[in-house]
């Protein structure tokens, strides 16, 4: 069920004895890597406590439509927008009837009305209630008009002693059905660490050496990897970009700061993408106070910075390592040399001297080079090219297996 990794699941729980199974369902979803938020009806709280589900999900449990504290944080509309999928399990006959009628008289029914997210319900009720004409008519309406999937029910002995259809499907079966709603993503189950942006190498407390990197390509790669199912660590130098959702961001300043962050992330990293424009040199000595303008010329001694991508590629059991070559001349020759010299699995090359692409632009044009092929990608948005890079990585990984 790795396809649930990093997915946002909103689990609705209604009143019924099957509510006790919801605790096991939350645990199964969390084990699969999903982010789970629970919404309960008042009836559900009679069968299982919000505290239990909060402990299992790791998130506050929502149950009141007009809770001022909840509305000040993640309000009900934001909660509806948050989810990748909404599952109501168990779904009682009463709840099904209210949703079919278009009611929004509690938090859970309101969320269903307010969300365009894919939805499913797992019915749970007495076999006679399930067989009732009104219930069957409601189920048909939900399927056809509301586009709600109906999962189950199962048949067997019920809590009341009756035997027949009406039992909620088992939690593991529901978790698998949820996983099947998401396509088999290219990097599902992988952890990707990406560096982005420039580094700043201090000269004195107010001055530094840096470059024009905006970080846009690295951030686009982080989004593309996340959307491909990966868990993403984004290690960024100083940039003016918002942190993408569902991505862990670590902010750094200098090359040494970035290297420290990379080394901490490496033990759990399957794929490393070095998209940052790391300063090759730094001042040998950093002045403790601002250097005053007292002479016509000033010499600054520079020393070489550590090579982050080479360090990663030289580690034992190294991750799949992707480098970047931002050049102004002989782009392909330099990129191929870097690929071989640093023992990289793949390199992305681009000519930053061209107008309208590269540094600070939303557009780019790249050449992907690996040990067996070279592929040119014409000018496009950095987001589109980031998806092309992720697809190429996935293809090379598949070829290794």
Burial class (CB in 10 A: 0-12, 13-18, 19+), 141: middle
Rounded Cα–Cα distance for residues 31 and 383 (Å)? 30
CB proximity list for 384: less than 8 A, separation 6 or greater:
none
Decide if 160 is catalytic.
Answer: yes
- What phi, psi does 396 have (nearest 5°)? -70, -40
Active-site residue, selected from the candidate residues 137, 160, 163, 303: 160
Q: How far is residue 89's CA from residue 399's CA, in Å, rounded to a whole number?
A: 40
168: nearest Cα among 346, 299, 47: 47
Calculate the alpha carbon distances from 187 to 231, 273, 381 in Å: 9, 14, 21
The C-alpha atoms of residue 218 and residue 390 are separated, in whole angstroms, by 12
Q: Tell how far CA 314 is from the center of its chain.
A: 28
Q: Which of 347, 351, 350, 297 is nearest to 321 (CA)?
A: 347
- CB burial of residue 157 (10 Å; 0-12, 13-18, 19+): exposed
| Residue 360 backbone phi and psi in degrees, to 5 | 70, 0
Closest CA relative to residue 246, chosen from 88, 38, 33: 33
Token duo for residue 272: 């490393």
Distance of alpha carbon 300 from alpha carbon 4, whole angstroms: 52
Catalytic residues: 160
């Amino acid at each position: 069920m790795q396809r649930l990794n990093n997915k946002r699941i909103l689990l609705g729980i209604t009143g019924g004895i099957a509510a006790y199974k919801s605790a096991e369902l939350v645990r199964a979803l969390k084990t699969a890597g999903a982010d789970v938020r629970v919404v309960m009806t008042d009836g559900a709280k009679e069968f299982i406590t919000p505290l239990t589900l909060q402990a299992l999900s790791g998130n506050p449990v929502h149950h009141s439509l007009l809770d001022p504290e909840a509305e000040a944080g993640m309000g009900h509309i934001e909660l509806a927008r948050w989810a990748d999928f909404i599952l109501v399990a168990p779904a009682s006959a009463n709840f099904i009837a209210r949703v079919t009628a278009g009611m929004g008289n509690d938090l859970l029914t309101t969320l269903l009305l307010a969300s365009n997210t894919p939805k499913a319900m797992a019915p749970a009720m007495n076999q006679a209630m399930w067989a009732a004409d009104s219930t069957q008519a409601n189920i048909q309406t939900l399927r056809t008009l509301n586009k709600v999937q109906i999962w189950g029910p199962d048949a067997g002995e019920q809590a009341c002693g009756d035997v027949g259809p009406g039992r909620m499907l088992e939690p593991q079966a529901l978790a698998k059905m949820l996983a099947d709603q998401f396509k088999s993503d290219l990097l599902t189950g992988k952890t990707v660490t990406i560096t982005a942006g420039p580094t700043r190498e201090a000269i004195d407390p107010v001055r530094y050496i840096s470059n024009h990197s905006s970080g846009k390509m690295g951030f686009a790669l982080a989004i593309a990897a996340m959307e491909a199912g990966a868990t993403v660590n984004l290690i960024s130098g100083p940039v003016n970009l918002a942190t993408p959702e569902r991505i862990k961001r670590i902010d750094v300043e200098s090359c040494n700061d970035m290297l420290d962050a990379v080394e901490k992330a490496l033990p759990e990293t399957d794929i490393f993408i070095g998209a940052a424009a790391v300063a090759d040199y730094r001042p040998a000595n950093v002045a403790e106070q601002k250097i005053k303008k007292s002479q016509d010329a000033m010499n600054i001694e520079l020393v070489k910075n550590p090579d982050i991508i080479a360090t990663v590629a030289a580690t034992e059991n190294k991750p799949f390592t992707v480098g970047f070559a931002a050049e102004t001349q002989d782009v392909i020759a330099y990129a191929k040399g870097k690929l071989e010299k640093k023992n990289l699995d793949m390199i992305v090359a681009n000519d930053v001297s061209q107008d309208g692409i590269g540094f600070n632009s939303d557009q780019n044009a790249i050449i992907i080079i690996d040990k067996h092929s070279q592929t040119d990608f014409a000018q496009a948005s950095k987001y589109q090219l980031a998806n092309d890079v992720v697809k190429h990585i996935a293809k090379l990984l598949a070829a290794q297996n």
